Structures are given as C-alpha cells and as structure tokens.
C-alpha cells in the first residue's frame, strides 16, 4: 500500500467505493487522514462500513465542513456531459477535487529514496488503443530482465494498492483518459502516447477534450522522456510541442506507417520488422513476424512503444527481443484460443470501437468475423475500408441490424443475435486457413457486464466447439 501523504489529521471525502475508492480510503488511513466515504449504491456503502469506514452523506447541509479534499473514482463524470452533483457541491464549497492517480504521484516518492542506489521510476502509458498490451509488454520485458517492477492503474492493481518502491523499482501504469483528466499531479519519468481515435466523446465534450485529457500526462508534470505514436496528427502535434530541437532525444517517435526521417530518436515497424534509428542511422532491428504474442500491425505499434521504453531504461536490444518472444499476450486482446481442422479462433473482445476492430481485421487473413454489441458514435465507419479480408460477418447484440445496414451487400453477413449462435455458425462455415475472430467494434453492456465477460463467453464456446468432451467451466 502507498500511504497518502499531505493529509495527516485531515478529513478527506471519497466518492465511489469500487476497487479504487476503497483502496484510496485505506491509503488515506495509512497516511494519517480520516476518510469519509460515499457511494450512490447501498452495496458500496455497506462494503465501506464493513471495513470500518465512516460514511458522509454529501446532501447534508454541513457535509463539506472541514473537508480538505474530495477524491473521486474515475468512472464519475466531473465536467461532461454534466458534473456529478457531489463534485459540483465540492466546487461550490471550494473543496479541491482529485483522484487516486493524483494522490499516487504526490505520495509515491519518500525520503527513503535518498538511500537507494537506483531511484525508482514510473512509466505511464495512455492512448486510445493498445494501452493494456503496451503496459503489460513493458512489465514483461522488465521481469524477464530481472528488474523489480509493478503493474497497475487501469490494468491489474489500483495504484494505491502498490507496494512501496524498492531499490530500482519500475512502476508501469496504464492510464485512461478518465484517470488523466482529473489528476492534480502527473509526474511520470517516462510517458507513452500510443495513438488517438474517437472514444468516450460524451465524457470529454468531443474529440478535442478527449485529446486534451490524454495530453495532460505530458504537459502537467513534464516527463524526462516521452514516447509518442506519430501516425495521427494529434501525436505529431504532441511530439512537436515536446521537442526543443529536431534531434531532441527526450522524445522518441514511434510509427507503423511512416518511414524514419530526420535526426531524432525513432522506432518504426514496417512489414513486420522493427527498427531503431538515432541521428539518421539504424542502430538495431527485430523481426516481429516470428513473435506469436504480438500479431498484426497494431501489436507491432505496441512493440515499438515497449521497445522504446525499455531502451530508455538502458536495456539491450537483443534482450528485449528475447523477452518479446516469451510474451503470451493478454486475455481478450488478439488472444489465440485454439485451432481445429485448420481454423484458428481469436478473442479480441477488447476491440470495443471501430478503430481497434479495424486493426484486428488487418492482422489476419481470411476472417469469419463476429461483431456487434452496443454500438458507438460513428458506427463501423473507420473500419469499412478494411473489411476486404472478411469472408462473412456474424452479428450479435443491440447493434446487429445497424451493423448489417452499414456492411450492406459488400460483406456477406448474418444476424445471429447471440454469441452461442455466432460461434456455432462461424465454426460450421469456416474452412481450413480461416480465422474466426471476435472483434466486436462495440461496447459489451447490452449483453454482458464488461468486455472480459464477453470474451470469456466466446472462449468457453470455442473450447466446447474444439473439444466437446472436455470439462467446461
């Protein structure tokens, strides 16, 4: 646990009592503060009371008396589409609002670091797609190298649940726009921007607000080094803002679409080969085509980002390459489930928007595509240029008929409604060499609690199809 510093003997309100909220309350107690908790759900309040935390009803007239800070969970909107009433009340009372990410950055470093041979570092990864795989890959490379490392944030543990830093520890954080948008302190040593595509636009008041939330990771605290994906205008803009000179190696530009140019530090992946360039010369390369855990161009971009971070931390290119080969990938992210009769089954349930699904469609050959769910603004528009490899689409969920209209006569498709029907139909019609791919291009909330549950359902049905006699569950 990371004890929260700076609020000893203070009363701190905590709004939202899920994983991060309860971890925040515990960390506040460890730092000598008194947390006062609230959640809209009776179940959340009961969990807090079960751990011995006091409740604070924000509707009480005296609720904000002597409150030093309000800490909110990332899922609670603070500005768009409209401020949560509790946050608006804190504004009126002049109470500062923060989240657990801000508290982490204010509390992680301690006087004990003065006696360490190697000062701990924080790597923070943000962007629209690839954050989780990039973060997990960095963590895996460091573990393979024998470095002390912890993984947290939007993946794995909550940030305040981390262990206090050890000598030379590297903390890798995956940070969503919900987390970077509100944090009052953002001071990573290395910050990564993977890419940008439209997502969460209602929460951020449009694409500009969404990018601004991501950009805060780089502009609020000023990382020592920034790894920037430059395949979109927003990334090129950000790299240009951060670099002082054309050859400023505090900025590492990564790309899967652009040839290396100029004197700066660049890591690019083209036609399956990753190459590192410095001062206009290639200094290292890796053949990514033989890395089973990183299929497709989108994963090659993730590899570029992880490679750049590892090189920034002083790791040797050949040792990074060896670690790539032992990376198994993450569940629900281009996860190979199995093969039967020459047909491969892949779970990319995390492809919850059209842009990420488009990247998945480009990673494989002839595809039997399972798509649908709760469609997002813009529908399938960004991926329609990439459906040439789709032999047939099997559409499920709330948006099945809307997706069918968008695909039209160009892509054979069938409305299956549910996962069991889609898997059965795709499996029955697939031919040797085909890939049955779950890449929904939609949220899961119409039929599932989250994308993990959707991916788990797909996985269970595929395994039953591959081996009907195997025990399920």
Condensed to tens digits (0 to 9), the pLDDT of residues 344-402 reads 999 999 999 998 899 899 989 999 999 999 998 889 998 999 999 999 999 999 999 99
How much is the pLDDT for 139? Answer: 97
Segment 85-105 shows an average pLDDT of: 96
Which residue, among 88, 91, 93, has the nearest Cα to 61 in the 3D structure? 93
Alpha-carbon Rg of the chain, whole angstroms?
23
265-270 and 251-255 as β-strands: parallel, antiparallel, unpaired? parallel
Cis peptide before 81 (omega within 30 of 0): yes
Q: Does 128 carry a binding-site annotation?
A: yes
Orientation angle between helical segments 100-107 and 19-30, nearest 10 degrees: 30
Q: What's the angle, vertex CA 124, arms to CA 118 and CA 127, rounded to 5?
A: 160
* Distance from C-alpha of 66 to C-alpha of 219, rounded to nearest angstrom: 32
Binning pLDDT at 50, 70 and 90, where does residue 292 land? confident
How much is the pLDDT for 334? Answer: 86
Percent of the chain with pLDDT strictly greater than 70: 99
Query: Average per-residue pLDDT in the chain?
Result: 94
Binning pLDDT at 50, 70 and 90, where does residue 322 land? very high
How much is the pLDDT for 472? Answer: 57
Q: Is 98 helix (H, G, I), strand (E, B) or coil?
A: strand
How much is the pLDDT for 194? Answer: 97
Contact 15, 58 (CB under 8 A): yes
Non-local (6+) Cβ contacts of 116 within 8 A are: 167, 168
Segment 25-29 shows an average pLDDT of: 97
* Distance from C-alpha of 229 to C-alpha of 71, rounded to nearest angstrom: 31
* Stated pTM of the model: 0.84
Q: What is the dihedral of CA 74, 79, 80, 81, to 10 degrees?
A: 100
Q: Does 131 carry a binding-site annotation?
A: yes
Non-local (6+) Cβ contacts of 232 within 8 A are: 195, 196, 197
11-98 placed in CATH 3.40.50.720: yes
Domain 11-98 matches domain 105-325 at the CATH topology level: no
How much is the pLDDT for 25? Answer: 97
Listed by start position, the domains of the chain span 11-98, 105-325, 335-466
Q: Does 129 carry a binding-site annotation?
A: yes
Segment 250-259 shows an average pLDDT of: 96
29 — phi, psi (to 5°)? -60, -40
Q: Which CATH architecture has domain 105-325?
A: 3-Layer(aba) Sandwich (3.40)
Cβ-defined contacts of 400-405 (< 8 Å, 24+): 400/372, 402/375, 403/371, 403/372, 403/375, 403/379, 403/441, 403/442
How much is the pLDDT for 104? Answer: 98
265-270 and 273-278 as β-strands: parallel, antiparallel, unpaired? antiparallel
Q: Does 132 carry a binding-site annotation?
A: yes
Segment 188-217 shows an average pLDDT of: 92
| CA–centroid distance for 401 within its chain | 29
Residue 16 has pLDDT above 60, yes or no: yes
Q: What is the pLDDT of residues 104-131, one digit of tens each?
A: 999 999 999 999 999 999 999 999 988 9
Binning pLDDT at 50, 70 and 90, where does residue 469 land? confident
Q: Please, which residues bridge with residue 149 across strands? A: 170
Q: Is 69 helix (H, G, I), strand (E, B) or coil?
A: strand
* Distance from C-alpha of 17 to C-alpha of 47, rounded to nearest angstrom: 8
* Distance from C-alpha of 54 to C-alpha of 72, rounded to nearest angstrom: 16
What CATH code would you report for 335-466? 3.90.190.20
Residue 202 has pLDDT above 90, yes or no: no
Q: Which of 67-71, 125-129, 156-160, 196-200 has the highest mean pLDDT?
A: 67-71
The kind and range of the H/E element at 393 are: strand 390-396
Q: Does 376 carry a binding-site annotation?
A: no
DSSP 113: G
How much is the pLDDT for 64? Answer: 95
């Amino acid at each position: 646990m990371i004890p929260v510093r700076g609020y000893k003997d203070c009363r701190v309100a905590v709004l939202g009592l899920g994983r991060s909220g309860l971890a925040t309350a515990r960390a506040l107690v460890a730092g000598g503060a008194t947390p006062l908790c609230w959640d809209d759900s009776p179940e959340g309040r009961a969990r807090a009371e079960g751990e011995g935390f006091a409740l604070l009803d924000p509707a009480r007239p005296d609720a904000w008396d002597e409150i030093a800070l309000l800490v909110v969970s990332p899922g609670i909107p603070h500005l768009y589409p409209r401020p949560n009433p509790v946050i608006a009340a804190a504004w009126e009372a002049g109470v500062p609002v923060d989240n657990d990410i801000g508290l982490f950055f204010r509390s992680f470093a301690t006087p004990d670091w003065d006696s360490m041979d190697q000062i701990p570092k924080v790597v923070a990864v943000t962007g629209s797609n690839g954050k989780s795989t990039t973060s997990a890959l960095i963590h895996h490379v460091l573990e393979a190298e024998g470095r002390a490392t912890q993984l947290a944030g939007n993946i794995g543990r909550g940030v305040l649940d981390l262990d206090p830093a050890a000598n030379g520890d590297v903390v890798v954080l995956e940070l969503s726009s919900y987390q970077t948008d509100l944090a009052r302190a953002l001071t990573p040593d290395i910050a990564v921007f993977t890419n940008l595509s439209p997502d969460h636009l209602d929460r951020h008041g449009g694409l500009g607000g969404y990018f601004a939330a991501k950009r805060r990771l780089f502009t609020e605290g000023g990382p020592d080094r920034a790894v920037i994906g430059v395949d979109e205008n927003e990334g090129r803009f950000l790299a240009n803002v951060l670099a002082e000179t054309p050859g400023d190696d505090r900025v590492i530009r990564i790309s899967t679409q652009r040839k290396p140019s100029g004197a700066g530090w660049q890591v690019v992946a083209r036609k399956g080969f990753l190459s590192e360039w410095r001062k206009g010369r290639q200094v290292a390369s890796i053949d990514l085509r033989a890395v089973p855990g990183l299929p497709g161009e989108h994963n090659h971009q993730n590899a570029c980002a992880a490679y750049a971070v590892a090189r920034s931390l002083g790791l040797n290119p050949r040792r990074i390459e060896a670690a790539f080969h032992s990376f198994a990938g993450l569940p629900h992210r281009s996860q190979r489930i199995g093969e039967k009769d020459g047909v491969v089954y892949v779970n990319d349930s995390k492809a919850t928007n059209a842009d990420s699904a488009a990247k998945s469609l480009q990673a494989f050959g002839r595809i039997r595509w399972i798509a649908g769910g709760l469609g997002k603004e813009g529908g399938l528009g960004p991926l329609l240029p990439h459906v040439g490899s789709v032999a047939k689409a099997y559409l499920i969920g709330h948006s099945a008929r809307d997706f069918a209209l968008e695909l039209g006569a160009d892509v054979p498709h069938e409305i299956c409604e549910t996962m069991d029907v889609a898997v059965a139909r795709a499996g029955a019609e697939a031919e040797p060499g085909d890939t049955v791919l779950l890449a929904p291009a939609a949220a899961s909330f119409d039929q599932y609690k989250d994308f993990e549950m959707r991916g788990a359902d797909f996985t269970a049905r595929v395994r039953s199809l591959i081996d009907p006699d195997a025990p399920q569950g």
